[in-house]
């Protein structure tokens, strides 16, 4: 409806004198994508009737295509690695402007750095020059889809004509159909995607969404449950399933699922190697961090570490990269490396959210109590309500026998978050320990106060420790 206002880069026809050679040639560049390789091998042999049709269309098209200008995005302020990559790809294109796969690769890099208009132009050119390569119309369709689902439909169909069995593309076609209100056709495409790949969670979720919108809550629960089983980390499936349960009359189950979904990440990932390969091409530091976070979600710590180190190579001044590396290294069991990375992040940005508490904990774990205490105090200066740092101060103080400090910090923590179960359990344990320390120091009256407080908390929580604390309190009072 907003056709006139949308500025989608206009397509200029291209002159491709080397088009026929390109048609039969390898897509080149050492592409690791098996789909592209399969396209290429087919093109090199005897042509099927479909291929002959493509060849004819291509020859006719190529004959009338004038020169295509290479789209050059504004890179002011971009990181050097990004500028270098663009310069290199543009030089490749100038040297061989009829190379469809070179255009496609350029489009992927453009898209990876969010130069959408230019990427669309490049993909269109790639599709014209390499019309039998699946990935170019597919990537073009997915990008156009971000602006107009209706405009993406013929592109998805063109891609699927080249490879009808790539289930992620069929799911995206179904989603575009759903967005344009063609629910019956969308339903058929989702079903076809399920037949192609019974483990495709997005296809099952599509069937569930359509059922929910049609008022069939029971069918929605069935399909969405399958989607959730296949992709338990996907928050979208979980919350839609929760809603379906509520519609089906089972609010309690819906509430359980909705509550569990709170801990899931906001970003949902798809198993779509072709689309994923685009995002792998982004060379700026933030993209390295984004990819590393994606790997962390899947527990791929080595890959996450590799991305973060590459990002630091691009721009070592970004504290968030060092901090993320510290977290990954800690999870990978490298406390020394983690500590070093955390220190660097702290040097670069002492107030970076979470870095001071992380560093305090890392120092504590490596036995540097003085450092841990100082950093925990710093963290509390930045966030006076950080109960975890209060508890850390209490732990260090306990190690040092500083009872007065322990009591002071515990009181603060208790006031700050009296209802929080982990805090409460930690406090019960600490109050008990302090009580025992006071007993050992010959201060039974003071100890009784701490046991009493621990007992109150344990009773409030319904903790099994309450009985033991009650007995211990009685002993101390005696």
Partner 1 sequence: MARNRAARVAGLVLAIAPGCSAPPDSGVAPAEAPGAGPEATPAVRFVDVTAESGIDHVLPSGTDSTYPMPAVMGGGLAVFDADGDGDLDLYVVAPAAGGNRFYVQQEDGHFTDATTAAGLEGDGMGCAVGDLDNDGDLDLYVTRVGPDRLFLNDGKGVFADRSAAWDAAVPGWSSSAALLDYDRDGYLDLYVARYVAFDPARVCSQHGGRRDFCGPTEFEGLSDILLHNLGGNGFENVSAVAGINAVEDAGLGVVAADFDHDGEVDIYVANDADPNNLWIHQGSGRFLDDGVLQGAAFNRWGNSEAGMGIAAGDADLDLDLDLFVTHLITETNTYYRNLMLPGFEDATIDTELGAASLDLTGFGTAFFDADNDGDLDLAVANGAVKRRPSALAAPGGAAAPPAFWSDYAEPNLLLFNHDGRFADASAQRPWTELGLSRALVPADLDRDGDLDLVIANLDGAPRTLRNLTIDAGAASDEPTVANWLQVRAFDPRLGREALGARITVRTPDGPRLLHALPPGSYLSAGPTAAHLGLDAAESVESFEVVWPDGLVESFDGVAANQVVELVRGEGQAE
- In the complex with partner 1, the residue whose CB is nearer, 27 or 319, is 319
We find the least distance from the C-beta atom of residue 31 to partner 1, in angstroms, to be 22
Q: Does 222 bind partner 1 (CB under 8 A)?
A: no
Tell me: does residue 79 bind partner 1 (CB under 8 A): yes
Q: Find the binder of partner 1 among 1, 60, 64, 95 (CB under 8 A).
A: 1
Interaction between residue 176 and partner 1 (CB under 8 A): no
Candidate segments 47-55, 111-119, 336-344, 463-471, binder of partner 1 by CB under 8 A: 111-119
Distance CA 317, CA 215 (A): 53
- Determine which helix (DSSP H) or strand (DSSP E) holds 353, and give its type and residue range: none
Cβ closer to partner 1: 260 or 474?
A: 260
C-beta closer to partner 1: residue 234 or 338: 234
Q: Does residue 276 interact with partner 1 by CB under 8 A? A: no
Q: Does 37 bind partner 1 (CB under 8 A)?
A: no
- Does residue 381 touch partner 1 according to CB under 8 A? no
CA neighbours closer than 13 Å in the CB half-sphere of residue 386: 22
**Least distance to partner 1 from the beta carbon of 241, Å?**
9
Closer residue to partner 1 in complex, CB, 121/463: 121
Distance of CA 141 to the CA centre of its chain: 22
CB distance 459 to 466 below 8 Å: yes
DSSP SS3 for 315: coil
Residues 179 to 208 in contact with partner 1, rule: CB under 8 A: 179-181, 205
239 binds partner 1 (CB under 8 A): yes
CB of 293 to partner 1, least distance (A): 11
Rg (CA), the chain: 30
Per DSSP, the residues of 110-155 read HHHTT-HHHHHHHHHHHHHHSTT-THHHHHHHHHHHTT-HHHHHHH
Query: Of 350, 352, 368, which is closest to residue 360 (Cα–Cα)?
Result: 368
Q: Say how far apart CA 240 and CA 248 lie, in whole Å.
A: 12
What the block records as the tokens of 372 is 């841990």
Kindly report the number of other CB atoms within 10 A of residue 227's CB atom. 25
- Between CA 284 and CA 109 the distance in angstroms is 11
Q: Which of 105, 113, 226, 343 binds partner 1 (CB under 8 A)?
A: 113
CB 372, min distance to partner 1, A: 24
Interface with partner 1, residue 157, by CB under 8 A: no
152: enclosing H helix or E strand: helix 149-162
Please give the residue ranges that form the binding site for partner 1 (CB under 8 A). 1-2, 4-9, 73, 75-79, 82, 112-117, 146-150, 178-181, 205, 209, 213, 235-240, 242-243, 246-247, 251, 254-255, 258, 261, 266, 268, 282, 284-287, 315, 349, 351, 353
């Amino acid at each position: 409806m907003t056709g006139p206002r949308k500025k989608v880069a206009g397509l200029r026809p291209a002159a491709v004198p080397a088009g026929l050679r390109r048609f039969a040639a390898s897509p080149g560049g050492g592409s690791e994508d098996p789909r592209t390789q399969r396209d290429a091998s087919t093109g090199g042999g005897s042509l099927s009737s479909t291929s002959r049709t493509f060849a004819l269309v291509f020859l006719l098209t190529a004959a009338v295509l004038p020169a295509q200008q290479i789209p050059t995005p504004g890179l002011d302020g971009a990181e050097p690695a990004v500028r270098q990559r663009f310069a290199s790809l543009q030089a490749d294109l100038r040297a061989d402007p009829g190379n469809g796969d070179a255009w496609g690769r350029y489009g992927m890099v453009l898209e990876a750095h969010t130069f959408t208009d230019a990427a669309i132009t490049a993909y269109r050119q790639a599709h014209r020059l390499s019309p039998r390569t699946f990935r170019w119309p597919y990537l073009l369709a997915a990008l156009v889809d971000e602006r107009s689902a209706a405009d993406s439909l013929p592109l998805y169909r063109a891609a699927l004509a080249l490879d009808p069995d790539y289930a992620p593309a069929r799911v995206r076609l179904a989603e575009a159909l759903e967005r344009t209100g063609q629910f019956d056709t969308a339903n058929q495409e989702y079903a076809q995607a399920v037949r192609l790949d019974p483990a495709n969670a997005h296809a099952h979720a599509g069937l569930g969404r359509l059922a929910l919108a049609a008022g069939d809550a029971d069918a929605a629960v069935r399909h969405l449950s399958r989607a959730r089983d296949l992709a338990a980390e996907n928050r979208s499936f979980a919350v839609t399933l929760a809603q379906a349960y509520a519609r089906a009359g089972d609010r309690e189950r819906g509430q359980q699922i909705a509550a569990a979904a709170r801990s899931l990440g906001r970003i949902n990932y798809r198993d779509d190697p072709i689309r994923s390969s685009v995002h792998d091409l982004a060379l700026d530091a933030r993209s390295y961090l984004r990819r590393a976070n994606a790997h962390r979600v899947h527990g791929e710590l080595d890959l996450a570490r590799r991305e973060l180190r590459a990002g630091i190579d691009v721009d070592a001044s970004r504290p968030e990269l060092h901090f993320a590396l510290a977290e990954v290294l800690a999870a990978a069991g490298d406390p020394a490396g983690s500590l070093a990375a955390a220190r660097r992040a702290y040097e670069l940005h002492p107030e970076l959210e979470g870095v001071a508490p992380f560093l305090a904990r890392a120092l504590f774990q490596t036995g540097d109590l003085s450092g841990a205490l100082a950093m925990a105090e710093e963290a509390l200066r930045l966030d006076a309500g950080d109960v975890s740092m209060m508890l850390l101060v209490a732990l260090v103080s306990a190690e040092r026998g500083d009872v007065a400090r322990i009591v002071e910090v515990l009181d603060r923590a208790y006031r700050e978050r009296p209802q929080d179960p982990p805090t409460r359990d930690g406090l019960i344990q600490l109050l008990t320990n302090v009580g025992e320390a006071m007993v050992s120091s010959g201060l039974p009256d003071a100890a009784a106060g701490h046991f009493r407080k621990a007992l109150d908390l344990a009773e409030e929580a319904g903790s099994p420790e309450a009985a033991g604390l009650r007995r211990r309190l009685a002993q101390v009072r005696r």
